[in-house]
Amino acid sequence: MEEKDYRIEHDSMGEVRVPKDKFWGAQTQRSHENFEIGVGVETMPKEILKAFGILKKAAALANHDLQPQRMTEDKCSTIGRVCDEMIRGNMTEEFPLVVWQTGSGTQSNMNVNEVVANKGNHLFGDKLLHPNDDVNMSQSSNDTFPTALHIASALMLEEKLLPSVTTLIEEFKRLEKENEGIVKTGRTHLQDAVPIAFSQEISGWRSSLERDVEMIQLSLKPLKELALGGTAVGTGLNAPGGFDEKVASYISTITGSDFTTAENKFHALSSRDEVVFAHGAVKALACDMMKIANDVRWLASGPRCGLGEITIPANEPGSSIMPGKVNPTQCEAVTMVAVQVMGNDTAIGVAASQGNFELNVFLPVIAYNFTQSVRLLSEAILSFHKHCIVGLKANKEKMHENLHRSLMLVTALNPYIGYENAAKCAHKAFEENISLKEACVELGFLTSERFDEVFHPEEMV
């Protein structure tokens, strides 16, 4: 940088040159220069920055209540003004640090402290705020980053993922009603099985998602327990009595969601099991979305040489060489996202296992993977709903044709001719390429008239 482009900032290690047009300070600049890993791509997630804005504002309010001689009205309100900008998603250019930094997230915590202080001083018109003494009052990076992680994770689940899943659930309910009375071939092991109503098949998809919602909701309560107030090692050093409960109350007010203080701060700083549990529920949803998307693309396979039992919207050309080809691209996007979420779950689990003594130092990578999982899955579900499931239609003729060609309809004859004789009918029909009725009559198990009396595929569901 040329001299005219920077200003001199200092920290406990000395002076640092910082771009003049930025509000961050010395510690942010050091991290920006020392960790050139994924720059501009794998920066701290915006959801984590929003959560930091929430917790810094709440901390200022709690400190103002408990020690107004230090956290004055001017300081509290000025911190709040800057934090409101962060909560709205503004000033993203002031937070350049990558995920691949210190495992405690200290540098991102200081990035926030410096930006809030310097931006606040700019707004106030005087040197009112100090990054450590004021913005970080009663806090440590060791309790702020876990708190930001929990806030961001809980809010993303409540505000982004659960509404997306609910939208798809409602669409499946509509399709269930629309397809009542349609009977088709069931399949197990990718082989023909006994009949099933198409509405029943759809209900399986819908019920899976409803169970995933229940599990995600179950994970929210422990996720909403916050480490803030534990400071460096969980003892609460330098935080006034009652700060932890008061700051959790303010966070609840700001977010409109019920957060509480963690009962045991030593656990809250060193263990990430609540995030592991919550992401496990997210992974369960990803697994079900993989299953549903695969079912849809199998059922839509063709258009002439596959199953062809449903049609889905043709959104774009599917081949650069085969004219007229259309592919189930929305299903493919969902399955790729599901794979990413499953991989993220492994990374989160391994990272969470690495707590040493009073702190886990894999926090940024946990935050990165959790927020990515929820963001991708939420958006993939909405896209799948909008561009695929809304336009899903049953091919009644093909379902009827496949149903009556299925050899597993012979199961309906078990009560009349027994399992082994029914199996003989199925094998004969397959080997000689004749109907089940012809096989059964030729083997002498039933007359033609009796076969027609007992054989009703549409009633087997």
Two tokens, residue 145: 């980053």
Select from 246, 257, 284 the least CA-distant residue to 150.
257
Structure-token pair, residue 263: 């009962």
Residue (of 189, 195, 216, 356) closest to 277 by Cα position: 216
Q: Is there a catalytic annotation at residue 141?
A: no
In whole angstroms, give the CA distance from residue 220 to residue 269: 18
Q: Which long-range contacts (CB under 8 A, 24 or more apart) does 105-108 make?
A: 105/141, 105/144, 105/145, 105/148, 105/363, 105/364, 105/367, 106/141, 106/145, 107/27, 107/28, 107/30, 107/31, 107/35, 108/44, 108/48, 108/52, 108/145, 108/364
**What is the distance between the alpha carbons of residues 160 and 153, in angstroms, rounded to a whole number?**
10
Bridge partners for 18 per DSSP: 7
β pairing state of 183-188 and 14-19: unpaired
**319 is an active site residue:** yes
Bond from prior residue into 364 cis (ω within 30 degrees of 0): no
Angle between helix 243-255 and 141-156 (nearest 10): 30
> For residue 344, which of 384, 380, 377 has the smallest C-alpha distance?
377
Phi/psi at 162 (nearest 5 deg)? -60, -40
Q: Among 84, 86, 68, which residue's Cα sits nearest to residue 76?
A: 68
CB atoms within 10 A of CB 66: 18
CB 437 within 8 A of CB 449: no
Catalytic residue among 10, 122, 319, 448: 319
φ, ψ at 355 (rounded to 5°): -70, 130
Write down how long the chain is: 461
Contact predicate 50/112, CB 8 Å:
no
Residue 213 parent element (H or E): helix 198-223
76 contacts 64 by C-beta, under 8 angstroms: yes
| Catalytic residue numbers, as ranges | 189, 319
